[in-house]
Amino acid sequence: MIANSLKMRGRFERRMLLLQWLAALLLLLLFIRLADLQWLQHEGLLLQAEQNRINVVPILPTRGEIVDRHGQGLAVNHVSYRLTLIPERSENISAVLTQVQQLMHWPDKRLKRLQKQLAHSRRDRPILLADKLEWNEIAQVAARLHQLPGIDVQAGTHRFYPYGALSSHLIGYLSLARNEDLQHGVLPSEKVGRRGVERTFESTLHGLPGSQYEEVDAHGRRISAFKRVPPQMGKRLQLSLDIGLQQVASEALGERTGAVVVLDVNNGEVLALLSKPGFEPNRFITGLETEQWQSWINDSQHPLINRAIQAVYPPASTFKLLVGLAGLAKQSPLIHQATQCLGYVKLGDRKLRCWKRRGHRRVDLHKALVESCDVYFYELGDQLGMAAISDTARQWGFGETTNIGIGPEATGSIPRTNGGRRWFRGETMITAIGQGTVTASPLQMARFTAAIANGGALLRPHLLAGQTPEITRQIDVLPENINIIRKAMRDVVVSVHGTAHRAMAKLAWTSAGKTGTAQVVTEAQDEDKLPKGMQKKQLKRHRDHAWFVGYAPYEKPRIAFAIFVEHGGHGGSAAAPVAAALVRYLAKQEKVAAKTGQGS
């Protein structure tokens, strides 16, 4: 019996010992857990606890302004108010939106659009309900914020484009962030550059958002704000553009469709880049209506196309400058000779006609450029062959983008001769006068002309004032060959027989240039295809395109320009007067600057 008692006692003691060890282990685990919570996870848990009562509200940065070379505002910021909603702060979003709708007098259509937007948005991010508001429009909501959980009124700025359509293709516009923008950290209520300079320099102009720390109650209502990290404003961008020159170009074009490009021949700065018609970029700020977008899309004049860089056209007789350079480089026999222009060249049983029906009689290279004789260049092109013309064109920058940086940019078309295709004589001869398959943009033509003016430096056009010039290619061309072309361009203006004499001769700055008239209805017999009772001149879409390219001053070139008037008629009468207006403006500005001692 005593043995049994001892045995039971031993079993009890072992159980007690096991229990003690188990209790000690549990206490140790509890101590470790407490230590983990108190020391190792202290900061994280404290932050979680704080986040239960603290909201971080982003503060949008003010976008950097865009100004022209003289400091004139091209994209500026106006003080305004915006209305936002953070969905997670509102228990009944539908009721809150209905109240806001009544206070703001919104139509039901707008309310439905906002509800659809909210359904595809994050609940913790502010959603823009309205922007660009005056205080009298938002005052009723601001006074009732305590009754509208999740709603906030923020003072800020909105983008405004003072020159509207005049600079729309160059400057671009803003619109609300899209899904792809959100993936890069952009807030849903932020505006992002979509075209032109606004898009190209988005990272420079955008700035960095700030934040405001707010204490809220259990319903998400703001109790107080206790910390603010200010946003960083975007950088101010000064362009090389002269908005006054752009205005002169627009006034000279009038209601006609076309493009004007003016470059600094020494550094590639863009002084004017106009495409008409333009569009109103301010319409994008508050959200473009579908009706407005459709009207632009369906407009026969295509106002959304930047004709200066996106559209390409046959360069017509302006291309004769290039063919002349090719002939000089290849020492073609006709370069040192003359030919007879009877008004046409026979090619088999066909006649390739000159624009001057009765002919130019005896012509050499100089006279052929000054009076724009087609027959001479038919024969010169025939001697050179397509390969020589194509190679020279590519050397001078045709068939490639200029890399101006506000694309998309068209490359134009230069015949390729390395594909084994046989080129017929007629195709080569037509190409030599800038017709057929060869096309170029106004910007390409301006860059080409600038390279003639500066001695063969093919510059990359750039938009920022003071930017270091970038030479894309230094063309291997003899100075005497360029001088031959320059002298002919000068006589296009000063000679009484020159095709631009009437428009350009009497200017303060001496100028040089070349006209071009690109045929749309190419042959006389095509007129028979027009509707009965209607002549070619009565149908705008059948009128010729007008070109004029050139530079000034002639003695010491500073600017190069390309003017294109779509269906404008003849280059000398339609495009050259636009160039004359530009030169007059710049000469007058230089004179004013000299009198005031400001320099040019």
**Three-state secondary structure of 69-104:** CCCCEEEEEEEEEEEEECHHHCCCHHHHHHHHHHHH
The predicted model gives 182-205 an average pLDDT of 90
Give CA–CA dist 277/259, Å, rounded: 9
Residues with active-site annotation: 317
Identity of residue 344 = Y
Positive/negative CA dihedral, 286, 290, 292, 294: positive
Residue from 513, 476, 471 nearest 491 by CA: 513
Question: Mean pLDDT for the chain?
Answer: 88
For 210-232, b where at least 16 C-beta lie within 10 A, e where not — what string?
eebebebeeebbbeeeeeeeebe
The predicted model gives 6-33 an average pLDDT of 78
Please report the pLDDT score of residue 339 as a whole number. 96
Q: Which two tokens stand for residue 113?
A: 């659009």
Domains and CATH numbers, the chain: 55-238 (3.90.1310.10), 243-596 (3.40.710.10)
* Residue indicated by tokens 């209805």: 521
Cβ(301)–Cβ(277) below 8 Å: yes
Q: Which two tokens stand for residue 402?
A: 């200029």
Phi, psi (rounded to 5 degrees) for 314: -60, 125
Q: Which two tokens stand for residue 399?
A: 């068939």
Alpha helix ranges (H) inside 56-184: 93-104, 108-119, 135-142, 168-171, 179-182
First to last CA, the chain: 124
Give CA–CA dist 480/456, Å, rounded: 12
* Residue indicated by tokens 């070349």: 514
Percent of the chain with pLDDT over 70: 90
Q: Which two tokens stand for residue 282?
A: 């301010």
Please report the pLDDT score of residue 538 as a whole number. 47
The predicted model gives 239-256 an average pLDDT of 97
* Range from 117-126, 277-286, 394-403, 481-490 carrying the lowest mean pLDDT: 117-126
Provide the Cα torsion 439, 445, 448, 450; round to 10°: 180
Give CA–CA dist 323/321, Å, rounded: 6
> Could you report the per-residue pLDDT of 311-331, keeping only the tens digit for each?
999 999 999 999 999 999 999
Q: Answer yes or no: is pLDDT of 7 > 80.
A: no
Residue with the bigger pLDDT between 189 and 65: it is: 65
Q: Which two tokens stand for residue 319?
A: 């291309």
Please report the pLDDT score of residue 598 as a whole number. 55
pTM: 0.82
**Residue 173 Rama label (left phi>0; alpha psi -120 to 50; beta):** beta
Cβ(110)–Cβ(92) below 8 Å: no
Task: Say if strands 66-67 and 237-238 run parallel, antiparallel, or are unpaired.
Answer: parallel
The predicted model gives 122-131 an average pLDDT of 81
* Range from 123-127, 218-222, 238-242, 310-314 carrying the lowest mean pLDDT: 218-222
Residue with the bigger pLDDT between 258 and 158: it is: 258
Residue from 105, 463, 76 nearest 282 by CA: 76
Top-confidence range, 115-129, 318-332, 349-363: 318-332
Give CA–CA dist 456/453, Å, rounded: 8
Give CA–CA dist 505/509, Å, rounded: 10
Identity of residue 428 = T
CA 170-441-517 angle, to 5 degrees, is 125
> Could you report the per-residue pLDDT of 523-573, keeping only the tens digit for each?
444 445 555 554 444 466 678 999 999 999 999 999 999 999 999 999 999
* Range from 128-142, 231-245, 527-541 carrying the lowest mean pLDDT: 527-541
Residue from 353, 322, 258, 205 nearest 564 by CA: 258
* Range from 84-93, 316-325, 440-449, 455-464 carrying the lowest mean pLDDT: 84-93
Give CA–CA dist 84/104, Å, rounded: 13
Specify the 3-state DSSP secondary structure of 128.
strand
With both helix axes pointing from N to C terminus, report the angle between 479-494 and 442-454 in degrees, rounded to the nearest 10. Answer: 110
| H-run or E-run covering 513 | strand 512-518
Q: Residues 6 or more apart from 192 whose CB is under 8 A from it?
A: 174, 175, 176, 177, 178, 181, 186, 202, 206
Identity of residue 98 = T
The predicted model gives 55-84 an average pLDDT of 91
Top-confidence range, 3-12, 55-64, 116-125, 249-258: 249-258
| H-run or E-run covering 57 | strand 54-59
pLDDT band with cut points at 50, 70 and 90 for residue 190: confident
Please report the pLDDT score of residue 227 as a whole number. 84
Q: Answer yes or no: is pLDDT of 47 > 70.
A: no
Q: Which two tokens stand for residue 1?
A: 């019996």
> Could you report the per-residue pLDDT of 383-437, keeping only the tens digit for each?
999 999 999 999 999 999 999 999 799 999 999 877 667 788 999 999 999 999 9
